[in-house]
Amino acid sequence: MFIPLPSAPPAQRSFKPRAVQFLIVTNLVVFVYQLYALYQGVSLVEVSGVIPNQILQRYSFLPPLPNLFDRTLLTSLFLHDVHIVQGGFIHIIGNMLYLSAFGPTLESMIGSLKFLLFYLLCGVLATLCYVTIYYNSNLPLIGASGAIAGVMGAHFIACPKARVRCFLLIYIISVPAVVLLVPWIAIQLINVYFSFQGASVAWAAHVGGFGVGMILIGKFQRMWFRPKQEVYRIRPYLR
């Protein structure tokens, strides 16, 4: 089993992924605050998590539509499971490892501020994908997985051959990103197919985020943003 480790673009070893570092620190600080709030008897998951059935706006002449201005679409991206017996620490550690493995390369290509906007947009759209499918659910949706899946989807399109460090058994090796990404998205698709509404993992948000990232990176590169410095040779339509 491959476990991703923090990686850096080989052409820019001195590059500091400020946005990735900011996101990791923010998630960790919020996680500690969640533990404190839970100790005080307050569950931030119930207060700031996305509850599909509650963010839908119902009209007499239209199908239910999500409220795009609901604050939980953003706040939920920084919350994680804090129940230790249910693998709470695994939840946030896993997310931060994947972010630190795939985030720096993408950030070096489009810049720190642009990466932050990209990350948040992927996270919100991944959440909306989940809400669209499970619109009747009253279970809170939390986690950075959808946003990180967007980063991974963008990485898959922009630089699939970029090397990513990972832990395999007792060895630390470097493999092309595609070696990690293809099995990962395959597992998500399989779980979406076999999962049900009561599943504890939002597989649909993972798949939605990955797909959104694949689509948006082309738009960012071609229309809105230009890379600060080209690190890898990427497809012409992304330039």
The predicted pLDDT at position 233 comes to 42
Strands lying side by side in the sheet with 171-176: 2-4, 163-168, 171-176
> What is residue 231's predicted lDDT score, i.e. its pLDDT?
44
Strands 171-176 and 163-168, by their bridges, are antiparallel
Q: What is the pLDDT of residue 22?
A: 97
pLDDT of residue 225: 47
Please tell me the distance from the alpha carbon of residue 34 to that of residue 126, in angstroms, as a whole number.
23
For the chain, list the domains and their CATH numbers: 2-238 (1.20.1540.10)
Q: How far apart are CA 143 and CA 228, in angstroms?
A: 30
10-residue stretch averages of pLDDT, the chain, 239 residues long: 78 78 96 92 92 82 81 96 71 93 91 93 96 89 95 93 86 90 93 70 92 90 53 39
Residue 145 confidence (pLDDT): 94
Question: Could you report the per-residue pLDDT of 102-156, keeping only the tens digit for each?
Answer: 999 999 888 899 999 999 999 999 999 999 888 888 999 999 999 999 999 999 9
pLDDT of residue 4: 86
